[in-house]
Structure 1
Amino acid sequence: MLILPDHWTWDFWLVDDDDDRTHLYFLMAPVSLGDPDLRHVNARIGHAVSTDLRDWEFLGEAIGPGPSGAWDDLATWTGSVIRVGDEWQMYYTGVNRAEKGLVQRIGRARSTDLHHWVKDDGFALEADPRWYEQLDLDAWFDLSWRDPWVYFDQAAGEYRMLVTARANAGALDSRGVIGLARSRDLDEWEVLPPITAPGEFGHLEVPQLERIGGRWVLFFSAYEWAHSAARVADGLAVCGTHYLVADDASGPFTLETRQFFSGDPRGELYAGRVHRTRDGGHVFLAFLQYVDGGPFVGGLSDPFPIVVGADGRLGIDRDGDWRAHVPGAVAAARSPESLSALPLG
């Protein structure tokens, strides 16, 4: 579990190196802001390492906003890392001050050691209006084009990028899709139509594609307020992580069940990631928002083993009372009463 004394942490992504360590990149913002809702426009990308996915060594900031006037000069948000030969490439989300953080783009940084990152000048992938909703505050609160998940598609012989996006037509509360782009060389990208169909959610956040149990599983997350009216009417509007399935990496992807893979009314765990362990298994980690209805925590959970049921459906082994391992003093220190006395900054 990762809970920093001076920073809230939330969305994250992981990658293994050659030395039996897992590198964790995550969004972070100072607790001294006082209000957790302010963390989004103050986000930086933090870095930690671990050998067991439980005990983490915090290494500080990996990537922050660009200089004044840059396309990412306000905040840097969720992304992913891919290895290309002897180089690592991080694709991340950025927003800027001129657009008041309302328009999201995707940028790239490079590293040879997973510790020191250099941003690419001028690389900023944007949503194509042919398929994706542009900024329209009467339709949605932002231009959604974030959370890039980049991987190499062996069958297609090309790199692909999955993106949180919204279709440019349809009911406003159910336009959420996972966008798609492709590249042969990771330098030139072609934005394609979405890989999923709209209909159930306002947005599908932090997408991730994994092969589990002989099928392709596309994970995503949604808050309770980002469900369509139909889901709300059916009593399905919970907060958490869900998945779609397909026999082919290119889809079509469908919901195996309308019930969330990891979800609850309180929204304790969000923005979950699945990590393939070195022995070939899979575990689930998530952004820890709340514990038993308490104040906002802003940390990272311990890993939960993923199990595949007899019917093929995925589940999480939550054996034991995992909540008991959350430092109570940290949660109490981040309560609204205690934070109100902290300086803003």
Structure 2
Amino acid sequence: MFALPDSWVWDFWFADDGEQYHLFFLYASRALHDPEARHYRASIGHAVSADLTHWTRVQDALVRADVPAFDDLATWTGSVVRHPDGTWFLFYTGSTRAPEGKNIQRIGYATSPDLMTWHKSDTPPLGADPRWYETLQQGQWHDEAFRDPWVFPDPAGRSWHMLITARATHGPAFERGVVGHAVSTDLRHWEVRPPLSAPAVRGFGQLEVTQTEIVDGQAVLLFSCLAEHASQQRRATGTRGGIWAAPAQSLLGPYDIDAAEQVTDDRFYSGKLIRRRADERWILMAFHHTGPDGAFVGSISDPMPVAWDGRRLTVDAPTPTGVLSADCTPVATGA
């Protein structure tokens, strides 16, 4: 487990340089007292590990900019990829304050030769294109959602794709969550495209920290959403929210959001899949969200093996009484 005694830790992402795993994570001081206040005090920390279990913290990656800037309120979730020329790119969310305490989110990037020292780009950030994505002016949501960039190479190798937490311009407020999309040929210049999913009756107000991978031969879209941000149909089932997985026809969709199933409940959030080099197995890591007392926790889990069982993504997730079964209920382990 990765935890900081004086700070909450939540959303995170990885880079693998072939020798070490690099963990980039959001953190904020517990001196704020209210964990909800952490969002506007977030910086991007950095730790390294040889086994995804034992971590050594190193120098921070990024902090927010001075006013005025697209990231002058906070730096939020992102992803890291390596350009063919060897340059590492860290794509991240920048938040800036809007009227009435709301915020507008855009996406920028920083580069590094070694994953340790990062320099922000002067390239204008990506924002929500009102042709396809809801903006703050529509008044349907508590912020202008355009964040959590997940960048990966095109399967054919001709370009790069970015998945984005975004909202459609139509539909009930709690069904508008979509997978935003942008493309690039060089990682430096991006074109916003229409979303790769549509609002769904059994959908979500937001699909946070998306990731797409092929697990046991099945393309899967991983995302997170809490119960209070899910559609009416989802909430009617009594879901607590958490980490979800939707089947897909390919890494680029279509994604069947209506068919999304819970991977964990809200004890875990912001799940990330990574292939462990030691055994080539897909594992899930997530941050500890809700504790037994209902309070926010703020630390990152140990690796949890996952598999596709033919219908859903299953995970061996430890709990105080065992592991989570496919329906997110505790199962005794005999330990």
Q: Is the partner of 2:283 in helix, strand or coil?
A: strand
- Between the aligned partners of 1:28 and 1:211, the Cα distance in structure 2 is 30
- Give, in angstroms, the shift of residue 247 of structure 1: 2.5
Per the alignment, residue 190 of structure 1 pairs with 191
Shift of residue 251, structure 1, vs aligned partner: 1.6
- TM-score (normalised: structure 2): 0.90
Unaligned runs of 5+ in 1: 325-345
Q: Which residue number in structure 1 is paired with residue 295 of structure 2? A: 295
Contact 1:10 1:299 in 2 (8 A): yes
Stretches of structure 2 lacking an aligned partner (at least 5 in a row): 324-335
Instruction: Show the counterpart of 2:130.
Output: 129
Q: How does 1:220-235 map to 2 (within 5 A)?
A: 220-233=223-236, 235=237
Establish whether residue 119 from structure 1 lines up as the match of residue 120 from structure 2.
yes
Kept in 2, the 8 Å contact 1:14–1:25? The answer is yes
Aligned length: 318
Map 1:239-254 → 2, pairs under 5 A: 239-254=241-256
Contact map agreement 2:95 2:103 (CA 8 A) in 1: yes
User: Given residue 307 of structure 1, which amino acid in structure 2 is its aligned partner?
Assistant: A
Deviation of residue 123 (structure 1)?
A: 2.9
**Cα gap change, 1:138/1:101 in structure 2, threshold over 3 Å: closer, same or farther?**
closer
User: Is the Cα contact below 8 Å between 1:213 and 1:312 reproduced in 2?
Assistant: no
- Correspondence for 2:156: 155
Displacement after TM superposition at 1:258 (Å):
4.4
Q: 1:30 to 1:319 in 2, by over 3 A?
A: closer
The residue number in structure 1 matching 2:205 is 202
Conserved in 2, the CA contact under 8 Å of 1:182 and 1:190? Answer: yes
* Cross-structure match for 1:50: 49
Does the 8 Å contact 2:245/2:261 carry over to 1? no
8 Å contact kept, 1:108–1:123: no
Letter in 1 for 2:252: S
Question: C-alpha deviations, 1:298-335, integer Å up to 9, x for none?
Answer: 110111111232x35320013675889xxxxxxxxxxx
Q: Is the 8 A contact 2:97 2:104 kept in 1?
A: no
Partner of 2:267: 268
SS state of the match for residue 39, structure 2? helix
- Whether the 8 Å CA contact 1:181–1:189 is kept in 2: the answer is yes
1:159–1:182 CA contact under 8 A, matched in 2: yes
* Counterpart position of 1:94: 94
User: Given that residues 174 and 231 in structure 2 are in contact (C-alpha distance below 8 angstroms), is that contact kept between their aligned partners in structure 1?
Assistant: yes
1:219 equivalent to 2:219? Answer no
1:9-48 to 2 correspondences below 5 Å: 9-19=9-19, 21-48=20-47
2: distance between equivalents of 1:181 and 1:322? 43
Distance 1:156 1:49, change over 3 A: closer
Residue 327 of structure 2: aligned partner = none
User: Do residues 2 (structure 1) and 2 (structure 2) align?
Assistant: yes
Q: CA deviation at 1:291?
A: 2.6
Please say which of residues 91-100 and 3-12 is displaced more in the overlay: 91-100
Deviates more, 1:183-192 or 1:124-133: 183-192
Secondary structure, counterpart of 2:103 in structure 1: coil
Distance, in Å, in 1 between the alignment partners of 2:322 and 2:287 is 13
Does the Cα contact within 8 Å between 1:291 and 1:323 map onto a contact in 2? no
Structure 2 CA distance for aligned equivalents of residues 154 and 296 of structure 1: 38
Check conservation: 2:65, 2:71, Cα contact below 8 A.
yes
The answer (yes or no) to whether the contact 2:134–2:169 under 8 Å persists in 1 is yes
State the Cα distance separating 1:60 from its structure 2 match: 3.8
CA distance in 2, matches of 1:135, 1:98: 9
Indicate the SS of the match to 1:103: strand
Of Structure 1 and Structure 2, which has the larger fraction of its residues in strand? 2
- Helix, strand or coil at the partner of 1:298: strand
SS at match of 1:293: coil
1:132-181 deviations in whole A, cap 9, x for unaligned?
A: 00103731000000000001012262100000000001111110001001
d(CA) in 2 for partners of 1:251 and 1:165?
Answer: 16
Distance 1:318 1:105 in 2: 33
Is this contact kept in 2: 1:225–1:237, CA < 8 A?
A: no
User: Where does residue 110 of structure 2 map in the other structure?
Assistant: 109
- Runs of 4+ in structure 1 displaced over 6 angstroms? none
- Alpha-carbon distance between aligned partners in 2 of 1:158 and 1:51, rounded to the nearest angstrom: 30
* TM-score under structure 1 length normalisation: 0.87
The equivalences for 1:65-80 within 5 A come to 65-80=64-79
* Displacement of 1:102: 1.0
